[in-house]
């Protein structure tokens, strides 16, 4: 049975919204970020506690810069550690509360965190399937065409393409491994050193106009 933890709005799907505004009435620029390997250090043993969640250098400031340039920042993350019994929803909530607090201390805001806790690769909401991204678009009443989706893995690229969004790859996290092992699928994807470089690329054209 699908479930959702929410601070503000009733939910019917398998996601957690950390913070939500009345987006439907707003025109917005949206960017969707993977979490592990993009915002924070990744771990093959999973991030299982707030103490293990450590931001990558410059990532929090990058989110703040994106906010100042008019971007709404949403996180979309597979969190199969829950399905594997490595952590529970309460712990994940505390991890995301720490992430939000640190982003706010850097001057930014993450508007929502969507996650899929399942281990089943057939789950349509688990990346590389596009269900999680499509749900973000549905909730925000936003066309995902041209919306940047920043990830570090082939799952992120495939999910973004399947949702008709714009995949961007960072070298942090699993990014370098992805470039080495998934040369065909990553061949036509813009690649950046980190989230800070993504922010600079997206903001620069707007600043020049």
How many Cα atoms within 13 Å fall on the side-chain side of residue 71? 25
The yes-or-no answer on residue 36 being catalytic is yes
Which one of 21, 36, 44, 143 is the catalytic residue? 36
CA-to-CA dists, residue 44 to 67, 93, 117, 129, 198, angstroms: 30, 20, 16, 21, 24
Which one of 21, 34, 42, 120 is the catalytic residue? 34
Specify whether the CB–CB gap between 132 and 159 falls below 8 A: yes
The yes-or-no answer on residue 34 being catalytic is yes
Task: List, as one string, the DSSP characters of 7-63.
Answer: SSS---SSEEES----GGGS--EEEEE-SBTTTB---TT---SGGG--BPTTHHHHH
Q: Show the tokens assigned to 147.
A: 């919306």
Measured from the Cβ of residue 155, the count of other Cβ atoms closer than 10 Å reads 17
Specify whether the CB–CB gap between 52 and 40 falls below 8 A: no
- DSSP assigned state of 187: T
Cite the active site residues.
34, 36
């Amino acid at each position: 049975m699908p479930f959702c933890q929410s601070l503000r709005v009733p939910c019917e799907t398998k996601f957690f919204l950390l913070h939500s505004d009345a987006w439907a009435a707003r025109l917005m620029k949206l960017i969707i970020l993977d979490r592990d390997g993009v915002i924070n250090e990744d771990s093959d043993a999973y991030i299982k506690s707030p103490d293990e969640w450590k931001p990558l250098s410059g990532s929090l400031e990058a989110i703040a810069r994106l906010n100042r340039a008019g971007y709404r920042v949403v996180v979309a993350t597979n969190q199969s550690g829950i399905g594997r019994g490595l952590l529970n929803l309460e712990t994940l909530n505390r991890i995301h509360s720490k992430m939000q607090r640190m982003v706010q201390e850097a001057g930014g805001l993450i508007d929502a965190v969507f996650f899929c806790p399942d281990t089943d690769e057939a789950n349509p909401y688990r990346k590389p399937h596009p269900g999680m991204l499509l749900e973000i678009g549905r909730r925000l009443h936003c066309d995902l065409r041209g919306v940047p989706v920043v990830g570090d893995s082939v799952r992120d690229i495939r999910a973004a393409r399947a949702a008709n969004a714009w995949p961007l790859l960072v070298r942090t996290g699993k990014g370098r491994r992805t470039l080495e092992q998934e040369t065909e699928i990553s061949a036509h994807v813009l690649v950046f050193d980190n989230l800070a470089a993504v922010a600079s690329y997206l903001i620069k054209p707007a600043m020049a106009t």
